[in-house]
Amino acid sequence: MKRKGKWIVAGVISAALIGGGTGLAVATASGDDDSTEKPITGVALEKASAAALAHMGGGKVTDTEVGDEDGYYEVEVTLSGKQSDVHLDKDFKVISTEADSENEKNDKD
């Protein structure tokens, strides 16, 4: 019975991590060919994503970058089909938000 209980707990934890981490995994994938962009990882990814999503009032993290020219972190958030770049400082405080100009091209495709 102990072994079965451990497997159940492990399954529940795995499902929670996979479900919660799916959006974060997408955040590390870059659709651009610019290999100099470094995605945010680990705890920093969680904090930056949470700050950006809270600032935008929801949405989905679709890309991230460390060392962006507009801030220490950049988190791309897609909300209602529109993408915005949220720029954060080292303490995960929002510096600025910029609508992604490529939205209009990509939305028509």
pLDDT digits (tens, 9 = 90+) for 6-21: 555 555 565 444 544 4
- 72 DSSP assignment: S
Alpha-carbon dihedral 22, 79, 30, 52, rounded to 10 degrees: -80
The predicted pLDDT at position 59 comes to 97
In the CATH hierarchy, which top-level class contains the domain 2-108? alpha beta
Structure tokens at 88: 């954060």
* Average pLDDT, rounded, for the chain: 77
- Angstrom CA distances, 58 to 4, 7, 37, 51, stand at 38, 34, 24, 10
The predicted pLDDT at position 35 comes to 60
What share of the chain in percent tops pLDDT 70? 60
pLDDT band at 60 (very low <50, low <70, confident <90, very high): very high
Structure tokens at 105: 């091209």
For residue 100, give the amino acid letter. Answer: D
Average pLDDT of 30-39? 67
Cα distance between residue 62 and residue 22, in whole Å: 11
